[in-house]
């Protein structure tokens, strides 16, 4: 069957308050690869995240273009997909083209509670936070105020919403003494209602110590990304989750981790050691988010993904995320940088 392909470069304006590793992100730049074979179409999003991805958008675009040209000529699309964002987007497009990515998605996600709304200071402030009705899980970022204030906010939230479970994320903000201070101010009864805390400390070893001392379930995010970035990292032979053992959950951000096949292998390895996995977004557009929702529903049917990032955008791309009222920009309105 005849193959053809297109590569689109999109630019989507962001909400004003998006700061990544100290830099304001005013627009999101990424690529959509579109594969066609006969009547079939497969798309994938390639969107390196500034401050987190090793590659920049231009590098990812060039590598994607190279891979698409080879694919149209009959070669394996993954042969030269080295950057994680490229490997993820192209593998997703190939999977969709082959009809292997199930259409079914669960669009339920874990709402990210806005930091401003819980940072009012007084203990009662967090209790007034609008947690969506019927919400069983919510996510809260920590580490921007004092550890003590964070603990007070968490306790107030859990007290005000007796059936709520929290996912916490400190993004490596604390030293071990600071993490201990957080735990000291947390009500002991609330520890089991914290599904996990991502990366409490700067050093992974301190995260493990903290988790052992406090009984708070630990999740790896940045540490997992760092592990897969090692130059000698090969999933098939070398990679063991041993170095990451002791955690309750792996937070898998495919754009930062790599191909769908690599994500699947990670999930399988995690499951073999009794570790949970959660698929999470790296500020993909509504197109990429929708595919992540499908991926999560397929690979981790019992897990609610962390995809509550669309409200950080000012528009969606091509596909409407259920319930979102943001305007939708069409792919055809974006720059088509290449077409075979
Ligand atoms: Mg995280």
Per-residue pLDDT tens over the stretch 254-296: 999 999 999 999 999 888 888 999 999 999 999 999 999 999 9
Neighbouring residues of the ion ligand 1, judged by CB less than 5 Å: 169, 198, 221
Q: Is 141 a catalytic residue?
A: yes
Residues 6+ apart with CB under 8 A from 245: 273, 275
Worst-scoring range by mean pLDDT, 103-107, 124-128, 144-148, 242-246? Answer: 124-128
Instruction: Give Rg (Cα) of the chain.
Output: 20
Assigned CATH for 3-102+323-339: 3.30.390.10
Both tokens assigned to 219: 């999740």
Does residue 16 or residue 254 have the better pLDDT?
254
Tell me phi and psi for residue 68, to 5 degrees: -65, -40
Catalytic residue among 69, 139, 159, 253: 253
Both tokens assigned to 1: 């069957």
46: three-class secondary structure by DSSP: strand
pLDDT at 235 over 70: no
Does residue 109 or residue 215 have the better pLDDT?
215
Q: Give the pLDDT confidence score for residue 122 in this predicted structure.
A: 45
Catalytic residue among 141, 159, 276, 329: 141
Closest of 105, 18, 83 to residue 319, by C-alpha: 105
How many Å lie between the centroid of ligand 1 and the Cα of residue 40? 36
Q: Give the pLDDT confidence score for residue 230 in this predicted structure.
A: 78
pLDDT band of residue 238 (cuts 50, 70, 90) is: very low
Q: List, for residues 61-74, the tens digit of each pLDDT value.
A: 999 999 999 999 99
How many Å lie between the centroid of ligand 1 and the Cα of residue 338? 34
Both tokens assigned to 153: 């906010």
Q: Give the pLDDT confidence score for residue 108 in this predicted structure.
A: 85
Q: Is 139 a catalytic residue?
A: no
**Which H or E run contains 227?**
helix 222-229
Q: Give the pLDDT confidence score for residue 191 in this predicted structure.
A: 95
The β-bridge relationship of strands 27-37 and 316-317 is unpaired
Pseudo-torsion of CA 73, 79, 80, 86, nearest 10°?
Answer: 100
Q: Are 63 and 53 within 8 A, CB to CB?
A: no
How many Å lie between the centroid of ligand 1 and the Cα of residue 218? 11
Average pLDDT over residues 204-215: 95
Q: What DSSP designation does 78 have? A: T
What pTM, to 2 d.p., does this model score? Answer: 0.93
**Which H or E run contains 204?**
helix 204-214
Q: How far apart are CA 197 and CA 206, in angstroms?
A: 13
On whether 181 is known to bind a ligand per the annotation, the reply is no
pLDDT at 239 over 70: no
On whether 169 is known to bind a ligand per the annotation, the reply is yes
Q: How far apart are CA 331 and CA 227, in angstroms?
A: 34
User: Is the fold of 3-102+323-339 the same as that of 115-312?
Assistant: no
Domain residue spans of the chain: 3-102+323-339, 115-312
The β-bridge relationship of strands 165-169 and 194-198 is parallel
Q: Give the pLDDT confidence score for residue 21 in this predicted structure.
A: 87
On whether 58 is known to bind a ligand per the annotation, the reply is no
Residue 184 burial (10 A CB sphere; 0-12, 13-18, 19+) = exposed
3-state secondary structure 102-171: CCCCCCCCCCECCHHHHCCCCHHHHHCCCCCCCCCEEEEECCCCCHHHHHHHHHHHHHHCCCCEEEEECC
pLDDT at 237 over 50: no
pLDDT band of residue 1 (cuts 50, 70, 90) is: confident
How many Å lie between the centroid of ligand 1 and the Cα of residue 31? 24
How many Å lie between the centroid of ligand 1 and the Cα of residue 316? 23
The CATH class, in words, for 115-312 is: alpha beta
pLDDT at 194 over 80: yes
Both tokens assigned to 86: 């490229």
28-32: long-range contacts, CB 8 A cutoff, minimum separation 24: 28/283, 28/285, 28/313, 29/57, 30/57, 30/60, 30/284, 30/285, 30/288, 31/7, 31/57, 31/60, 31/61, 31/64, 31/89, 31/337, 32/7, 32/8, 32/89, 32/287, 32/317, 32/318, 32/331, 32/334
Strand partners of residue 42: 35
Q: Give the pLDDT confidence score for residue 6 in this predicted structure.
A: 98
Q: List, for residues 83-137, the tens digit of each pLDDT value.
A: 999 999 999 999 999 999 999 998 988 998 875 544 444 444 554 567 877 788 9
């Amino acid at each position: 069957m005849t193959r053809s392909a297109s590569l689109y470069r999109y630019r989507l304006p962001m909400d004003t308050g998006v700061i990544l590793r100290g830099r304001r992100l005013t627009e999101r730049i990424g690529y959509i690869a579109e594969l066609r074979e006969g009547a079939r179409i497969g798309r994938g999003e390639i969107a390196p995240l500034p401050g987190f991805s090793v590659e920049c958008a231009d590098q990812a675009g060039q590598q994607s273009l190279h891979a698409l040209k080879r694919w149209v000529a009959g070669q394996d699309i993954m042969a030269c997909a080295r950057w994680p964002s490229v490997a993820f987007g192209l593998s997703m497009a190939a999977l969709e083209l082959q009809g292997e990515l199930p259409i079914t998605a669960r669009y339920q996600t874990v709402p990210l509670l806005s930091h401003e709304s819980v940072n009012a200071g007084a203990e009662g402030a967090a209790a007034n936070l609008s947690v969506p009705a019927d919400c069983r899980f919510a996510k809260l970022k920590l580490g921007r105020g004092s550890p003590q204030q964070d603990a007070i906010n968490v306790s107030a939230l859990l007290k005000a919403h007796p059936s709520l479970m929290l996912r916490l994320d400190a993004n490596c903000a604390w030293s071990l003494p600071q993490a201990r201070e957080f735990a000291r101010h947390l009500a002991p009864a609330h520890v089991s209602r914290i599904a996990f805390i991502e990366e409490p400390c700067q050093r992974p070893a301190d995260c493990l110590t903290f988790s052992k001392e406090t009984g708070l379930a630990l999740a790896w995010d940045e540490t997992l990304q760092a592990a897969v970035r090692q130059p000698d990292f090969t999933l098939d032979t070398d990679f063991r989750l041993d170095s990451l053992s002791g955690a309750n959950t792996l937070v898998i951000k495919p754009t930062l981790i790599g191909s769908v096949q690599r994500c699947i292998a990670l999930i399988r390895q995690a499951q073999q050691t009794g570790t949970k996995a959660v698929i999470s977004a790296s500020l993909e557009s509504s197109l990429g988010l929708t595919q992540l929702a499908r991926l999560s529903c397929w690979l981790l049917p019992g897990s609610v993904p962390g995809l509550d990032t669309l409200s950080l955008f000012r528009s969606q791309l091509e596909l409407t995320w259920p319930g979102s009222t943001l305007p939708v920009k069409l792919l055809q309105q974006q720059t088509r940088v290449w077409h075979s």
